[in-house]
Amino acid sequence: MIAISLVLSCVGLWLVAVAMLKHYRQVWGGTPRQPVPTILRVAGVLVILAGASANVRAFGFAMGLVSWILCYLPACGVAVVAGLAYWPTFRARRSD
Amino acid sequence: MSWLHSWCGLVFGWLLFGILLTGSIAVFYDEITYWLTPEMRGGPLPERHQVMHLGWTYLDAKAPQSRLWKITLPTTREPFLGVSWRTAEGRTVNQRLDPETGAQIKRDSEGGSFYLKYHEGLHIDRDKNPLGLLVVGATGVAMLVACISGIIVHKRIFKDFFVLRPSASAQRSMLDLHNVLGVMALPFHLVMAYTGLVLLYWLYVPAAVQALYHGDAPKFRTEAITQEFKTVVGKPAGPAGLMGPDQVLERAELYLGPGKMAYVYVRDPHRANAMVEAYRMRDDQVSQQVNQVALNGVTGQEVRVLVKRSLPFRVQAFAAALHWVEWGGNAARWGYFLAGLISSTMVGMGLAVFVEKRARQARRPLAWLRVIGAVNVAAVGGLCVACIAYLWAERLISVSVHGRAAWSVAVFFWVWVVTAIHAGVRPSRRAWAEQFGLTAMLCLGAPFLGGLIVRDLEAADGVRVAVDLTLIGLGLVFAGMSAGLVLKRPASTVRGLKLVEA
């Protein structure tokens, strides 16, 4: 359950990140048209919340929420940022 | 505000890095103690009744006249039986026993609690001198100031939420990393700094007690932070006697839950007013103050029950538990460990950015910046070396050496002094690379001292193998950082950074 929570948190944060223009361009190229960024943001938040609830299910309410907010979400955030930092840009991938 | 963030971060960052790093390591202090004590056996624990019996018999034979006994039952984290008693002179004697044989584990060592002592008070004995606690408290306040001022000065906090540019200039990529680690783990930074202060509120904020209670601390404790108990049965005046360990365990776990008694105090054993106080484990609740029960030591009847705890008491217990993380098992501890390393790296990056930024801006070599650069290396790289050197000292110093624990601690501080001298005489970049390289070598070598890892693997000792593998993993990370510093574009090509290299 903790692994599921971590994966969901990473996916959710990644969706929120690619909803931002800078990272959207990096991953897919071009400029997103509405409502794509909004959909990505909402989907991201929902998946993040699913990650939180998975952790709550694993640990119980207090321990699950505290450990998720203090530890797992930041760790997932750092992992997503590191992933995006080394993610090949859309242009670079197309030239390959 | 930028000035406040920079200088507060720099001055307290030197201390803060050490406090955060040792705090992160201290999350696993029990596991480190176990790793450093080959006499302790892992594997399944013996039956609790048997262990309780062992401790009880030991104390009965060793200290029958004592006014206070304590028996701590073994857990998977602390697989030894802890016994202690108070002597006639008022001194407390602590001993660790093998939970199966009852043999005393004679090893003069602070084990993993060394890191805990450094984390909470810079390893200054808190009973003799509160200076360490006060300095750590001031550093905690500075961390809160740096966090809040950091949020204010970080204008693009939302736009750059996920931005890390490793291929940009050294200053840019380090600042990005500092920002990302700071923002992502902001709840952890704030909560740890705040709860660290709440833990010792009576020391850090004495003014409230002075102002509201005119310094009457007992009255303050009674009104604000007390636990209310109800005495059920008066103290008996019958003949002296003591119920047996089996009875104590059964009666206590009736109230605390099966398998949940952590430790027990026996007051006035073998006297008519004998009393047994049993305390519950803290592993399944976010509260540092746990349930307890007091039993009549002769009849086993409940003599004191908890009626209620005041709200401030519960809040403080919750805050303390957030800091101590005795709950949640290994998963929560690993989370805290990683988040602690994120905090430490954030502070280390902040220190490096301070020098890098000013070195770029400088038009001539600045001696003070050179000094700050050297102190940065000593505070970050030197502490990493010293932390692992302590483990080496614990492994290499013979058990028969008198004052062994003090020697290991001395090794930690002397190694730190040597790394500080090294940081002062070597060019900054090389000093960083060499100290990280040395940390890597020490981390990679520690599991192989005396064929330790081979023995751990053969014994399939999960905890010891986990410590071995963590050390190897950390060693590889430090080796990567050292290699990165050696191989990456030298900082001297950047204008003005020559002074750091000089």
Q: What is the pLDDT of residues B161-175, one digit of tens each?
A: 888 888 888 888 899
Q: Can you tell me the distance from the alpha carbon of B196 to that of B200, in angstroms, rounded to the nearest whole number?
A: 7
Asked if residue A23 lies in contact with residue A84, where contact means CB atoms within 8 angstroms, the answer is yes
- Taking CA–CA distances from A14, the nearest residue in chain B reads B162
Tens of pLDDT, residue by residue over B176-191, are 999 999 999 999 999 9
Q: What is the mean pLDDT of residues B96-103?
A: 90
Pairing mode of beta strands B81-86, B92-97: antiparallel
Verify whether the Cβ–Cβ distance A78 to B185 is below 8 Å. yes
For the record, the structure tokens of B126 come out as 């808190």
Query: Does B492 have pLDDT greater than 50?
Result: no
Verify whether the Cβ–Cβ distance B184 to A78 is below 8 Å. yes
List residues of B whose CB lies inside 8 A of any A CB: 159, 161-166, 180-181, 184-188, 191, 284-286, 322, 327-328, 331-332, 335-336, 338-339, 342
Verify whether the Cβ–Cβ distance B164 to A59 is below 8 Å. no
Q: What is the mean pLDDT of residues B139-167?
A: 89
Asked if residue B280 lies in contact with residue B290, where contact means CB atoms within 8 angstroms, the answer is yes
Determine what percent of chain B is predicted with pLDDT higher than 70.
93
For the record, the structure tokens of B109 come out as 């060592």
Verify whether the Cβ–Cβ distance A81 to B286 is below 8 Å. no
Mean of pLDDT over chain B: 87
Of A17, A75, A86, the CB nearest to B335: A75
| pLDDT at residue B384, as a whole number | 96
Q: Can you tell me the distance from the alpha carbon of A56 to that of B93, in angstroms, rounded to the nearest whole number?
A: 42
Mean of pLDDT over chain A: 88
The one-letter amino acid at B218: P
Consecutive H or E run containing B219: helix B217-224
Question: Cα separations (Å) of B9 from A78, B56, B147, B160, B379?
Answer: 22, 52, 9, 21, 13
Which residues touch B134 (CB under 8 Å, ≥6 apart)? B203, B204
Q: Can you tell me the distance from the alpha carbon of B123 to that of B409, in angstroms, rounded to the nearest whole number?
A: 9
The one-letter amino acid at B383: L
Query: Does A92 have pLDDT greater than 70?
Result: no
Question: Cα separations (Å) of B200 from B83, B121, B316, B371?
Answer: 27, 11, 10, 34
Nearest Cα neighbor of B193 from B28, B347, B25 is B347
SS (H, E, C) B3-15: HHHHHHHHHHHHH
> In angstroms, what separates the C-alpha of A59 from chain B's closest C-alpha?
7
Q: What is the mean pLDDT of residues B38-67?
A: 88
> In angstroms, what separates the C-alpha of B401 from chain A's closest C-alpha?
41
| pLDDT at residue A71, as a whole number | 93
Asked if residue B351 lies in contact with residue B13, where contact means CB atoms within 8 angstroms, the answer is yes
Q: Sign of the C-alpha dihedral, residues A9, A11, A13, A16? A: negative
Q: Between B410 and B501, whose confidence is greater?
A: B410
Query: Does B29 have pLDDT greater than 70?
Result: yes
Q: What is the mean pLDDT of residues B215-237?
A: 64
Number of A/B CB contacts below 8 angstroms equals 78
Q: What is the mean pLDDT of residues B406-414?
A: 96
Consecutive H or E run containing B116: helix B113-121
Tens of pLDDT, residue by residue over B437-477, are 999 999 999 998 866 777 777 777 888 889 999 999 999 99
Enumerate the residues of chain B whose CB falls inside 8 A of the CB of residue A75. 335, 338-339, 342
Highest mean pLDDT among A20-29, B138-147, B264-273, B493-502: B138-147
> In angstroms, what separates the C-alpha of A67 from chain B's closest C-alpha?
6
- Please spell the DSSP secondary structure of B424-444, one letter per residue: HHS-HHHHHHHHHHHHHHHHH
Of A58, A59, A69, the CB nearest to B187: A69
Asked if residue B279 lies in contact with residue B263, where contact means CB atoms within 8 angstroms, the answer is yes
Query: Does B237 have pLDDT greater than 70?
Result: no
Query: Does B118 have pLDDT greater than 80?
Result: yes
For residue B239, name the pLDDT band (cuts at 50, 70, 90). very low
B261-267, strands of its sheet edge to edge: B92-97, B81-86, B68-72, B261-267, B275-280, B292-296, B302-309, B227-231
- Taking CA–CA distances from B319, the nearest residue in chain A reads A66
Enumerate the residues of chain B whose CB falls inside 8 A of the CB of residue A24. none
> In angstroms, what separates the C-alpha of A94 from chain B's closest C-alpha?
20
| pLDDT at residue B212, as a whole number | 83
Substitution target from B27, B174, B175, B184 for chain A, most A beta carbons within 10 A: B184
List residues of A whose CB lies inside 8 A of any B CB: 2, 13, 17, 20, 22-23, 58-60, 62-63, 66-67, 69-75, 77-78, 80-82, 84-86
| pLDDT at residue B502, as a whole number | 33
Q: What is the mean pLDDT of residues A3-8?
A: 94
Consecutive H or E run containing B227: strand B227-231
Of B159, B164, B335, the CB nearest to A82: B164
Verify whether the Cβ–Cβ distance A70 to B331 is below 8 Å. no
Determine what percent of chain B is predicted with pLDDT higher than 90.
49
Q: What is the mean pLDDT of residues B69-89?
A: 91
> In angstroms, what separates the C-alpha of B183 from chain A's closest C-alpha?
9
Asked if residue B47 lies in contact with residue B409, where contact means CB atoms within 8 angstroms, the answer is no
Enumerate the residues of chain B whose CB falls inside 8 A of the CB of residue A60. 284
- Taking CA–CA distances from A3, the nearest residue in chain B reads B331
Asked if residue B360 lies in contact with residue B497, where contact means CB atoms within 8 angstroms, the answer is yes
Of A62, A72, A86, the CB nearest to B286: A62
pTM of the model: 0.89
Q: Can you tell me the distance from the alpha carbon of B501 to that of B486, in angstroms, rounded to the nearest whole number?
A: 13
Q: What is the mean pLDDT of residues B94-123?
A: 91
Query: Does B219 have pLDDT greater than 90?
Result: no
Question: Cα separations (Å) of B408 from B24, B390, B403, B412?
Answer: 20, 6, 9, 7
Can you tell me which residue has the tokens 């003070």?
Answer: B368
Enumerate the residues of chain B whose CB falls inside 8 A of the CB of residue A74. 184-188, 339, 342
- Taking CA–CA distances from A85, the nearest residue in chain B reads B164
| pLDDT at residue B241, as a whole number | 66
- Taking CA–CA distances from B336, the nearest residue in chain A reads A71
Q: Can you tell me the distance from the alpha carbon of B9 to that of A71, in angstroms, rounded to the nearest whole number?
A: 23
| pLDDT at residue B304, as a whole number | 77
Rounded to 10 degrees, what is the CA torsion of A76, A80, A83, A88?
160
Q: Tell me how far apart the terminal alpha carbons of chain A are, to the nearest angstrom.
A: 38
Nearest Cα neighbor of B376 from B14, B118, B22, B17 is B14
Question: Cα separations (Å) of B350 from B171, B346, B347, B409, B479?
Answer: 10, 6, 5, 28, 21
Q: What is the mean pLDDT of residues B104-125?
A: 92
Verify whether the Cβ–Cβ distance B191 to A70 is below 8 Å. yes
> In angstroms, what separates the C-alpha of B314 from chain A's closest C-alpha?
14
Query: Does B236 have pLDDT greater than 70?
Result: no
Angle (nearest 5°) at CA B457 between B455 and B463: 100
Substitution target from A70, A73, A80 for chain B, most B beta carbons within 10 A: A70
